[in-house]
Structure 1
Amino acid sequence: MPDKRVVLSGASGLIGRALAESLTADGVEVIRLVRHAPAGPGEVEWDPGRTRLDPAVLAGAAAVVNLNGASIGRFPWTSRYRHELVWSRIHPTQTLARALRVLGDDAPHFVSSSAVGYYPPDAAGQRFDEQGDRGDAFLSDLCGEWESAAQTAGDRVALLRTAPVVHRDGVLKPLMLLTKLGLSGPIGRGTQVWPYISLDDEVAAIRHIIDRGITGPVNLSGPTRATANDLGFALAVAMNRPYVLRAPVFALKAVLGADAVQALLTVDTHVVPAVLEETGFTFRHPTVEAAVTAAL
């Protein structure tokens, strides 16, 4: 994509920074939508949910990539923070979709974030490809609203159902602290299936989707089934620390809140990246052990 331009919202986040660096390294012009006065020609100020975005900012781009959203890893999920989780996703998506609709048939490919939280959080023994049913938990409803907002942009919309990213600043951040202190071990029973993806594969998958013009939901999740124990033990081995102390679910719920624990820690959902595999994507880190090694 050396002669193309990509408009990126959420460029300051973990995935956004890595994607912008990857595109820029290959000569792709990246226009960042920012919420402060522009620091240079590669930035455009916007105020999603409050003012309209000029469609001319998006016109002629190869893709518009929407990565906005407050972190779901912040606890507890109070009523106020739940509102922030919703607002930070829905309003930027609606603002972008509104501008893209104005461009009509000339609108760029819209690549918009969602998450594997779309699927039921407690679905032991089931596999979910992109045609899988939506769950009825808080995150499932949020993802459903998020995707519905994106789909109002038109027909050329890809929905990134991203798994927790195995990275020092991603899902590993709290786990690394516990492991360093020698306090890591099974969360609950530990055998629940956890979706995951490495940061390198996340970025490569987004670029794959843009390059091939893929639309519809796409699961961005590693291809090899992994449990919470698989990830935790791989991290303990990499850090040369023990993995023995079991964390009781009732205690986690008392501290973090029942919904957050169900959505993030005791989630048991086997998500398969069917669309990526069917369209020829090759994972650099196809196992959670490889993802942990790459992250460290």
Structure 2
Amino acid sequence: MRVLIAGASGFIGTALVDRLTAEGHEIVRLVRRKAQGPDEAAWSPAAGIIDFTVMDRVDAVVNLSGASLARLPWTKNYRGEIVDSRVTATRTLADAMRKAKRPPGVFLSASAVGYYGDRPGELLTEFSTAGTGFLAEVVTRWEAAAALAPHETRTTVFRTGLVIGHGGAMQRVGTLTRLGLSSRLGTGGQHWPWIALDDEVAAIAYLLESRLSGPVNLTGPTPATADRVMNAMAERMRRPYTLAVPERMLGLALGRAADELLLSSQKVRPQRLIDDGFRFTHVTVESAIDAMLNAPRARA
């Protein structure tokens, strides 16, 4: 397939390009500068500008655009950027597909488990309702923008959690652990939806050729608490895990991001992926962390 990717140079995008190229797909990158060859197309997502004719030349579109949630704290201005960078970019892609003479057959658009809000004690699947909070509102608007794609295009929104790999939030966790500052966050009993980077990109590649549409959870099949994730990192890096940070202190330091990212509990199950036959390489978060720490970049 010829696949157009927005966000190809990011944490997940870089790994996805490698995966799809290895599988024989042809990649076209969306870039925020002048295109320098047939494997690039220019756009300005903030301004809603894109050469919509590129949509006539590709079979599928993968949207990974969005400002990082791991950048802290979330100031008022940055919360606006979190929203705009997702909604505007997604709407720009959907509008371009609608203008194309031959729209792509597949549109895979990133989303997030933040859709479910804070739901302690509840098992969450794609059939669960939306929660409340800032991220739930962001994701609702984000997915609504993806739904503007033409009806003949199979549209799937993949709701991702904490991606275990060299980048994103795990980069910060790794730095704190390496410095001996890994800590229990609040009670530590809140569930963190996680997925190994290998499985994240494998699932996206799988969705390109699957018939699934609508929301799909991209999380590991075995739930894990924040305490389990942080303790596993510290244990494998041979660092202490004895500190504890009360919820109140996290709130004072990080504001809304503490409640939405670190203290929120979401026991998410990738029900539709499992039912469709996708097989995970890393079934437990410990396996995902082992793979991350044993990767070539870690050794280097």
Does structure 2 conserve the Cα–Cα contact (< 8 Å) formed by 1:109 and 1:213?
no
SS at match of 2:120: strand
User: 1:86: Cα distance to partner?
Assistant: 0.9
SS at match of 1:145: helix
User: Could you list the per-position Cα deviations for residues 20-79 of structure 1 after superposition, in whole angstroms to 9, with x for gaps in the alignment?
Assistant: 111112221100000012233211111124254233201242210000000011111111
User: 1:254: Cα distance to partner?
Assistant: 0.9
SS at match of 2:243: coil
SS at match of 2:44: coil
Does structure 1 conserve the Cα–Cα contact (< 8 Å) formed by 2:191 and 2:266?
yes
Q: Which moved more, 1:228-237 or 1:96-105?
A: 96-105
Q: Which moved more, 1:174-183 or 1:97-106?
A: 97-106
**Number of the residue aligned with 1:50:** 47
Does structure 2 conserve the Cα–Cα contact (< 8 Å) formed by 1:164 and 1:195?
yes
Matched, 1:132 2:128: yes
**Number of the residue aligned with 1:148:** 144
Letter matched to residue 206 of structure 1: I
Letter matched to residue 186 of structure 1: R
Residue of structure 2 aligned with 1:265, choices 247, 262, 265? 262
Matched, 1:103 2:100: yes
Q: 1:188 to 1:113 in 2, by over 3 A?
A: same
**Number of the residue aligned with 1:191:** 189
Q: Give me the TM-score of the superposition, normalised by structure 2.
A: 0.93
| Correspondences of 1:161-180 after superposition (within 5 Å) | 161-180=159-178
Provide the C-alpha distance between the structure 2 equivalents of 1:139 and 1:69, rounded to a whole number of angstroms: 13
Provide the C-alpha distance between the structure 1 equivalents of 2:71 and 2:65, rounded to a whole number of angstroms: 15
Residue of structure 2 aligned with 1:284, choices 270, 281, 285? 281
| Correspondences of 1:17-28 after superposition (within 5 Å) | 17-28=14-25
Which runs of no fewer than 5 residues in structure 1 stay unpaired?
none
Does structure 2 conserve the Cα–Cα contact (< 8 Å) formed by 1:101 and 1:107?
no
**Number of the residue aligned with 1:37:** 34
Which runs of no fewer than 5 residues in structure 2 stay unpaired?
294-300
User: 1:251: Cα distance to partner?
Assistant: 1.1
User: 1:104: Cα distance to partner?
Assistant: 7.1
Identity across matched positions, percent: 45
Q: Which moved more, 1:166-175 or 1:244-253?
A: 166-175
Does structure 2 conserve the Cα–Cα contact (< 8 Å) formed by 1:58 and 1:108?
no
Residue of structure 1 aligned with 2:13, choices 16, 29, 38? 16
Letter matched to residue 114 of structure 1: S
Provide the C-alpha distance between the structure 2 equivalents of 1:261 and 1:17, rounded to a whole number of angstroms: 28
Does structure 1 conserve the Cα–Cα contact (< 8 Å) formed by 2:108 and 2:155?
yes
Provide the C-alpha distance between the structure 2 equivalents of 1:256 and 1:79, rounded to a whole number of angstroms: 12
Residue of structure 2 aligned with 1:223, choices 217, 221, 224? 221
SS at match of 1:161: strand
User: 1:107: Cα distance to partner?
Assistant: 3.4
Provide the C-alpha distance between the structure 1 equivalents of 2:48 and 2:66, rounded to a whole number of angstroms: 18
Does structure 2 conserve the Cα–Cα contact (< 8 Å) formed by 1:120 and 1:137?
yes
User: 1:289: Cα distance to partner?
Assistant: 0.5
Provide the C-alpha distance between the structure 2 equivalents of 1:232 and 1:52, rounded to a whole number of angstroms: 42
Q: 1:271 to 1:104 in 2, by over 3 A?
A: farther
Provide the C-alpha distance between the structure 2 equivalents of 1:175 and 1:15, rounded to a whole number of angstroms: 17
Q: 1:104 to 1:132 in 2, by over 3 A?
A: farther
Provide the C-alpha distance between the structure 1 equivalents of 2:87 and 2:4, rounded to a whole number of angstroms: 18
Letter matched to residue 150 of structure 1: A
Q: 1:39 to 1:54 in 2, by over 3 A?
A: closer
User: Could you list the per-position Cα deviations for residues 108-163 of structure 1 after superposition, in whole angstroms to 9, with x for gaps in the alignment?
Assistant: 21100110000022x11101100111111000000000000000113321001011
**Number of the residue aligned with 2:298:** none
SS at match of 1:124: coil
SS at match of 2:41: strand
